[in-house]
């Protein structure tokens, strides 16, 4: 077996002078000059591949603990904006990550799938409803309709809470996955709690009819912007709508 010893022969193992060529070196002295290529920094140099198109590279991997809360909030804010502008179908995890200035892996790390990102964004946007829910539930039964009307329409009147609500409604209207998330949150966290206060055999239906009344008004006034409802005074609307909502909840 003499034809297979060149790669692993004695000189190759020992690093002898003939190891690379298999014979004596006849190339003469090395005239290539000193090595000016500099040390190999490939193992320590930062990864700038994300910025090769002229944009700053997005941060990869998990952030330090001190940055975690800020990063999570930034992702949620970007998600609400993306869902509001594009709707559920046209929003992607990659788009949310780009808007937040992070890598897609961080979005998955904090929230998981796009559906889970949407649910987290809905929960944050819906937080004022859950806080105001107690004021509705603690009211005397004859005042529940007005309090519920003021709470829901008040959230739509506030520009800060209106934007995330728009994201929720637009996405839920156009996508069944988003609608399922919305139903689960609204039914579980709000309507069933209100129905529990009514102590009537058709309490859940009553609560849903009341909610439908308010969601319909919100759609026409704030999303579709049909006049004169779009520009009517909020107190005028509440005065007319609250008795209808009360009728859904407690009327005979």
Q: What is the mean pLDDT of the chain?
A: 74
What confidence score (pLDDT) does residue 55 get?
A: 40
Q: What is the pLDDT of residues 129-160, one digit of tens each?
A: 667 667 777 778 888 899 889 988 988 888 87
**Region 243-252 average pLDDT:** 90
Residue 29 has pLDDT above 70, yes or no: no
**Region 66-89 average pLDDT:** 83
Kindly state the percentage of the chain with pLDDT values over 70. Answer: 72
Q: What is the pLDDT of residues 153-210, one digit of tens each?
A: 988 888 877 877 777 777 777 788 888 877 877 777 778 888 888 888 899 999 899 9
Q: Is the pTM of this model over 0.85?
A: no
**Region 28-36 average pLDDT:** 45
Q: Report how far residue 203's alpha carbon sits from residue 206's, in angstroms, rounded to the nearest whole number.
A: 5
> In three state form, how does the secondary structure of the chain look?
CCCCCCCCCHHHHHCCCCCCCCCCCCCCCCCCCCCCCCCCCCCCCCCCHHHCCCCCCCECCCCCHHHHHHHHHHHHHHHHHHHHHHHHHHCCHHHHHHHHCECHHHHHHHHCCHHHHHHHHHHHHHHHHHHHHHHHHCCCHHHHHHHHHHHHHHHHHCHHHHHHHHHHHHHHHHCHHHHHHHHHHHHHHHHHHHHHHHCCCCHHHHHHHHHHHHHHHHHHHHHHCCCCHHHCCHHHHHHHHHHHHHHHHHCC
Residue 75 has pLDDT above 80, yes or no: yes
Residue 105 has pLDDT above 80, yes or no: yes
Q: Report how far residue 40's alpha carbon sits from residue 4's, in angstroms, rounded to the nearest whole number.
A: 33
């Amino acid at each position: 077996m003499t034809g297979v010893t060149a790669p692993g022969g004695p000189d190759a193992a020992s690093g002898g002078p003939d190891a690379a060529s298999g014979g004596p070196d006849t190339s003469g002295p090395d005239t290539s000059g000193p090595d000016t290529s500099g040390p190999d920094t490939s193992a320590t140099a930062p990864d700038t591949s994300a910025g090769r198109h002229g944009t700053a590279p997005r941060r990869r991997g998990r952030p330090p603990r001190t940055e975690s809360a800020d990063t999570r909030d930034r992702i949620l804010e970007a998600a609400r904006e993306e869902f509001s502008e594009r709707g559920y179908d046209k929003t992607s995890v990659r788009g949310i990550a780009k808007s937040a200035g992070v890598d897609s892996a961080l979005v998955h790390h904090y929230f998981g799938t796009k559906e889970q990102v949407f649910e987290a964004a809905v929960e944050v946007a819906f937080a004022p409803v859950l806080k105001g829910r107690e004021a509705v539930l603690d009211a005397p039964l004859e005042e529940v309709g007005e309090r519920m009307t003021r709470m829901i329409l008040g959230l739509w009147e506030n520009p800060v809470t209106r934007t995330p609500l728009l994201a929720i409604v637009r996405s839920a209207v156009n996508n069944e996955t988003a609608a399922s998330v919305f139903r689960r949150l609204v039914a579980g966290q709000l309507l069933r709690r209100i129905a529990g206060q009514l102590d009537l055999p058709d309490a859940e239906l009553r609560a849903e009819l009341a909610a439908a009344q308010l969601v319909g008004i919100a759609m026409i006034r704030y999303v579709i912007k049909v006049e004169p409802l779009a520009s009517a005074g909020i107190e005028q609307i509440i005065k007319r709508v609250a008795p209808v909502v009360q009728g859904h909840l407690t009327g005979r």
